[in-house]
Structure 1
Amino acid sequence: MPLQFEQLPGLSVSVDQVLYLPHLQVPPDKPHPFAYYLSIHNHSSESITIVGRKWIVTDDGGETLVVEGDGVVGEKPRLEPGQTFSYNSYHVIAEPSVATGTFFGQTDNGKPVYVRVPDFRLELPLV
């Protein structure tokens, strides 16, 4: 039987900053690099280990990219009650897009949980 992930009250994600970084090297088919800064906040009463993630990036033309993987930026952070884990990563896009994501975790007693990342726009600056 597949794992049934539940939302855990008190576990949340904030999008702290999204930056357009045109000086970075990018592939010709996705010439627009963005860095994003996120924080995972554990205001629950349980300790949680983040074990995976899933991102869905949809551009304004309807193209969708799905990225799944273990952990977060090569780590599987453990958050005690009251702790926050902050990190940054990036996406490269061909045109303006919306990114949405989910982090998957596990409590110390083995309960699978998830928390959604608020949608954020990867919007090209006006020239």
Structure 2
Amino acid sequence: MATTITEGVKVSVETLYQPEYSNPANDHFMFAYKVSIENMGNYAVQLISRHWHIFDSNGVKREVEGEGVVGQQPVIEPGNLHEYVSGCNLKTDMGSMKGEYQMVRLLDNSAFEVQIPEFCLIAPYRMN
């Protein structure tokens, strides 16, 4: 599990290769990832948007930006967490992702950026 803490917001990511949705013969590898966002600070925060950097092992880099996560812009109270599951497809059986969330402290509407730690996307058979 990859974890980082930025300005009192802890982001942890777990990954899982999805063989039933992958087609290696056609260079299609699907991965799921579960993100936990925990507010360790003293004030409620809201996740506004995301920016992903996606890399595969053949040197291709993609960027994905958008509002919220899986259709939500969650408010996370102090001591609480928000979890979601999403997915990513690669053209190779190994890669990585990292990124940033744009967030706002609801107390004063101040914006800040939270780092999403880099995590690996690796088909299990590559681990041998």
User: For this structure pair, what is the TM-score category when the shorter chain's length is used for normalisation?
Assistant: 0.7 to 0.9
CA drift of 1:125 comes to 2.0
TM-score, normalised with respect to structure 1: 0.86
The structure with the greater share of residues assigned to helix is 2
Distance change >3 Å, CA 8–CA 100, structure 1 → 2: closer
Query: For residue 14 of structure 1, what is the amino acid of its counterpart?
Result: S
Secondary structure, aligned partner of 2:41: coil
Secondary structure, aligned partner of 1:45: coil
Query: For residue 118 of structure 1, what is the amino acid of its counterpart?
Result: P
Q: Which residue of 1 aligns with 2:21?
A: 24
Query: For residue 52 of structure 1, what is the amino acid of its counterpart?
Result: S
Q: Which residue of 2 aligns with 1:4?
A: none
- Runs (4 or more) in structure 1 with deviation over 3 Å come to none
Q: Following the alignment from structure 2 to structure 1, what is the Cα–Cα distance between the partners of residues 73 and 123? A: 32
Query: For residue 120 of structure 2, what is the amino acid of its counterpart?
Result: R
TM-score, normalised with respect to structure 2: 0.85
User: Contact conserved, 1:104 with 1:113, CA < 8 A, in 2?
Assistant: yes
Q: Following the alignment from structure 1 to structure 2, what is the Cα–Cα distance between the partners of residues 30 and 55? A: 21
Distance change >3 Å, CA 8–CA 99, structure 1 → 2: closer
Give percent identity, aligned residues only.
30
Across the two proteins, how many residue pairs are aligned to each other? Answer: 120
Structure 1: gaps (5+ residues): 1-6
CA drift of 1:84 comes to 0.3
